[in-house]
Amino acid sequence: MKIATWNVNSVNARLETVLRWFEEVSPDVACLQEIKCVDEKFPAEAFERLGYNVAVHGQKTYNGVALLSKTPLEDVRKGLPGGDGDEHARYIEAVVSGPNPVRVASIYLPNGNPIDTEKFPYKLNWMARLNAHARELLAYEEPLVLTGDFNVIPEPRDAAHPENWTKDALFQPQSREAFRALKWLGLTEAFMAIDGAPESYTFWDYQAGAWQRNNGIRIDHALLSPQAADRLLSCVIHRDVRGWDKPSDHVPVVTELDL
């Protein structure tokens, strides 16, 4: 089973590019972030024609996440627990049905910048809520994949120029510590477990020729429960998609499990 994550940076603005990738790769499950539209404006029919079931947690102009699956989605949850009054559409979770069901979540973790505003405490609080929910999900002892744009650079090696990120929320000690705390629950970071090659980035800014100079960062991750990690076959960053016409600033990451 191929489970993809991709921050598409507006699904409608980049629909042609996104559909091209879907047609070429045909993931079994896809987790999209930053779809930037309400549920009714999500181009569900275009994906349904490719054979996908669709679940959307959208928001006008900002944020928004979606789950697409070739088999039916069950037990769909929209929104991360514990956020009374938090209306940001950043989390959607479902059980992907089939002979070997797997629970999958599409995550768009808050950016947190600027760090001297309320946005950074919101990021850390959101990560604490994710940690608490992950604990509950792990108690089910089932295949679980938490994947998406985590907006965290885990280690200096995950940035071409880490010194440029020292004042950014993505690389603050508190952000990185919260990400490690998630893994310490018993989650395996798929890419590092299977590959971990240097200069493996998932995001390149649109400015200053970042893509051309490979000035990137790795912030799109897949975290696996022990039951999923035991079935991990591969985790591939589809780097070439950043060079396509009208690309997102992120590229897809595809985790394959023996399910």
Catalytic residue positions, numbered: 108, 149, 250
Q: How many C-alpha atoms does 146 have within 13 Å on its Cβ side? A: 28
Tell whether 220 is in a known binding site: no
Return the bridge partners of 78, or none: 92
Q: Is 149 annotated as ligand-binding?
A: yes
Q: Does the annotation flag 164 for ligand binding?
A: no
Q: Is 34 annotated as a binding residue?
A: yes
Classify residue 85 by burial, with Cβ atoms within 10 Å: 0-12, 13-18, 19+.
exposed
Residue 249 annotated as binding? yes
Q: Is 250 annotated as a binding residue?
A: yes
What is the biggest distance separating any 2 CA atoms in the chain, rounded to whole angstroms? 48
Helices 173-184 and 119-138 cross at an angle (nearest 10°) of 10
Q: Is the dihedral of CA 82, 67, 108, 10 positive or negative?
A: negative
Binding residues for Mg(2+) are 7, 34, 149, 151, 249-250
Binding residues are 7, 34, 149, 151, 249-250
